[in-house]
Amino acid sequence: MGSVSDSSYHSESNFSFPDEYILERWLHDPRFGFDKQNVLQPFSLEPRNCIGQHLARWRR
């Protein structure tokens, strides 16, 4: 099963102010506490996930 990522990322049912870039959304700002951040899957999921995802996550 899959979904169209763009529509998920721009849906008000998933994010507050979905069409705005707000860095605080990802920094545990309480204004965005009800955002469904698990909707964002930048590396895809098994079995076709990105082989470099572990390196990218390690660099945080």
pLDDT of amino acid 31: 92
Model confidence band, residue 46 (pLDDT cutoffs 50, 70, 90): low
pLDDT digits (tens, 9 = 90+) for 29-38: 999 999 988 8
For residue 30, whether the previous peptide bond is cis, meaning omega lies within 30 degrees of 0, is no
pLDDT digits (tens, 9 = 90+) for 4-37: 677 888 888 899 999 999 989 888 899 999 998 8
Q: Which domain holds residue 30?
A: 5-58
pLDDT of amino acid 3: 57
8 contacts 1 by C-beta, under 8 angstroms: no
Q: How many angstroms separate the CA atoms of 49 and 37, rounded?
A: 18
Q: How many domains does the chain have?
A: 1
pTM of the model: 0.59
pLDDT of amino acid 37: 83
